[in-house]
Amino acid sequence: MDINLAFFVELFFHVLGMWWVIVPSILLGLFVGAIPGFSAANTIIILLPLTFLMEVEVGLVFMIALYCSSRLGAGIPAILVNIPGTAGAAATPLDGYPMAKQGLGQRALSISFVSSIIGGILTTVIALVTMPWLARVGFYMHSVEMIVVMLFGISLIASVAAKDMIKGLIAGFFGLMIGSIGADHVYATPRGTMGFLELYDGVPLIPALVGLFAISEAFLVIEKGTFLSKTNVQDVDNASWEETIIGVRITLKRWYHVTWTSMIGLIIGVIPGAGAAIASFVAYQQSRTFSKTPEAYGTGHYEGLIAPEAANNGVTAGTLIPLMVLGIPGGATAAIMMVVMQYQGVPTGPRLFTERPELGYGVFMAMLVTYLLMAFTILPMSRYMSRVTMVSTTYMSPIIIAFTLVGSFVPREYMFDMYLAFAFGIVGYIARKTGYHVAAILIGVILGPLLEQYMLRALKMSDGDPMVLFSSSLGNMLWAALVITLILPAFLKRRRKSKAVE
């Protein structure tokens, strides 16, 4: 079979013909993505028997559509009510929620959708073209390089803490300590578990996520009675379709920003074990570093919303590359796809592209078609979705509490995780009442265990010699880039000040 333009055009229309699978999957994905604890992976697992009954290409299209749309869906509650649906959307509320609180929820959703869709389409097309080369990225990323990538994400703590550095550092390092709870990776010694067996595997992310953001938010908003002030309620009520169009225009105007932040997502997505959370934190941090208005980040800045959303949707294409090209699943959803493909007798890795190219390339084509169809299905919804912020907290707070507690129960099905979510809710409530940033705690909880894992691996290989951290050329280049991105904001600020004085 010749792989040329005609092949891709034919494949595109063939996949487009499966809209009857894609559209319902998009709606299901948006729904499960928006509920914390429910992910594309566990929905696919639940529907696995159904997937086995489908033809292999229909099954794959269904899984891809669900995967992409759930990634996008996770940003919706993050923007409207400060509840990230997944860890990958944890950086979205930093600027999305302040926009919603200003009565600009519809515009924020529109920006989020368009940057996700453009980011998704762009990275899918790039993935299609550069698959064989991108797949090798994972081979070059060893423990040392991964440590630096983690530090790129962790350096976001300093940005989040910009207004009060010392409090931000306390929150961030407290998060890193909480993230260190659990058995150590080599001898399985329990550390800081307070005797709870449920913490031996480490602190589960969903209870931390929903507790710090959602439960603390539910307790806080009842003080105010509503998510919005009276003027902002009127703004939301009077908002027309124009708000959505303004959001589209704002994002398209920043096409360059969408492009490079989604590329960060694609590259991080290719690395097995990394993921949307790291990608969105790194993209947000880099976006802020190179911004001309870094001080506007965290106040409802458009670029602060575009960066994590474009990046976490860029991850979707990246995660599938190692599976398709090398037969190595890059994430949970990719692993389930591999199971389905093996069950159906479809090879993965290089053989897939020689024996079944319509499936190998078809997976990425399905991703492209899903993002295109999402533009037509989800964008018009932004107007109605934004009205969630107008619902009285009398109804919203109990719903947030009950549904997020259920969400924290779902991944492991332990009652303990519900109690843990509540405990994190109290920590988040105290933190926010006393001027600490919960996002800094969460960054520590998410990235801390990963950093430790790679650090230990590197140190074990070098018999404890810390100089191993500077032993690889790529690692040293990344170290240099990290130092530059840490110094650059201060340098640029100084330059701007001196220019202003002149």
Window 174 to 193, contacts with another protein (CB under 8 A):
174, 176-178, 180-181, 184-187, 189-193
On whether the CB atoms of residues 105 and 99 are closer than 8 A, the answer is yes
Residue (98 or 138) nearer to another protein, CB: 98
**Shortest Cβ 110–another protein spacing (Å):** 22
On whether the CB atoms of residues 441 and 211 are closer than 8 A, the answer is no
Residue (208 or 315) nearer to another protein, CB: 208
Residues 300-359 that bind another protein (CB under 8 A): none
Contact pick of 233, 388, 459, 492 for another protein (by CB under 8 A): 459
Strands (E) located in 190-291: 190-191
Contact pick of 222, 246, 332, 486 for another protein (by CB under 8 A): 222
Residue (334 or 458) nearer to another protein, CB: 458
Residue (24 or 192) nearer to another protein, CB: 192
Residues 14-43 that bind another protein (CB under 8 A): 38, 42-43
Residues forming a β-bridge with 182? 191
Rounded to an integer, what distance in angstroms lies between the CA atom of residue 248 and that of residue 112? Answer: 9
What string marks each residue from 38 to 67 as x (binds another protein by CB under 8 A) or -?
A: x---xx--x---------------------
Residue (189 or 473) nearer to another protein, CB: 189
**Shortest Cβ 19–another protein spacing (Å):** 24
Rounded to an integer, what distance in angstroms lies between the CA atom of residue 403 and that of residue 35? Answer: 8
Residues 93-112 that bind another protein (CB under 8 A): 97-98
What are the b/e assignments for 207-235, b being 16+ CB within 10 Å?
bbbbbbbbbbbbbbbeeeebbbeeebeeb
Residue 461 as a binder of another protein (CB under 8 A): the answer is no
**Shortest Cβ 252–another protein spacing (Å):** 29
SS3 category, 183: strand
Residue (151 or 328) nearer to another protein, CB: 151
Residue 406 structure tokens: 């259920």
Rounded to an integer, what distance in angstroms lies between the CA atom of residue 243 and that of residue 236? Answer: 10
Residue (189 or 498) nearer to another protein, CB: 189
On whether the CB atoms of residues 406 and 206 are closer than 8 A, the answer is no
**Shortest Cβ 191–another protein spacing (Å):** 5
Rounded to an integer, what distance in angstroms lies between the CA atom of residue 147 and that of residue 479? Answer: 10
Residues 378-417 that bind another protein (CB under 8 A): 392-395, 397-399, 401-403, 405-406, 409-410, 413, 415
Which residues, at least 6 apart from 486, have a Cβ–Cβ distance to it below 8 Å? 155, 158
Q: Name the residue among 40, 112, 104 with its Cα closest to residue 76.
A: 112
- In the block, tokens 């405990």 appear at 423
**Shortest Cβ 496–another protein spacing (Å):** 25
Residues 265-304 that bind another protein (CB under 8 A): 298
What are the b/e assignments for 445-482, b being 16+ CB within 10 Å?
bbbbbbbbbbbebbeeeeeeeeebbeebeebeebbeee
Residue 2 as a binder of another protein (CB under 8 A): the answer is no
Residue 436 as a binder of another protein (CB under 8 A): the answer is yes
State the CB neighbour count (10 A cutoff) for residue 182: 20
Contact pick of 197, 245, 430, 483 for another protein (by CB under 8 A): 430
User: How many residues line the site for another protein (CB under 8 A)?
Assistant: 73
**Shortest Cβ 411–another protein spacing (Å):** 10
Residues 196-215 that bind another protein (CB under 8 A): 215
Residue 223 as a binder of another protein (CB under 8 A): the answer is yes
Q: Judge residue 173's burial from the number of C-beta atoms within 10 Å of its C-beta, 0-12 exposed, 13-18 middle, 19 or more buried.
A: middle
Residue 219 as a binder of another protein (CB under 8 A): the answer is yes
Residue (275 or 298) nearer to another protein, CB: 298
Packed helices 357-377 and 56-73: angle between N→C axes, nearest 10 degrees: 40
**Shortest Cβ 78–another protein spacing (Å):** 13
Q: What is the Cα gyration radius of the chain?
A: 22
**Shortest Cβ 93–another protein spacing (Å):** 9
Residue (323 or 405) nearer to another protein, CB: 405
Residue (17 or 435) nearer to another protein, CB: 435
- CA-to-CA dists, residue 87 to 78, 230, 439, angstroms: 10, 32, 11
Q: What is the rounded end-to-end Cα distance, in angstroms, of the chain?
A: 65
Residue (428 or 475) nearer to another protein, CB: 428
Residues forming a β-bridge with 183? 190
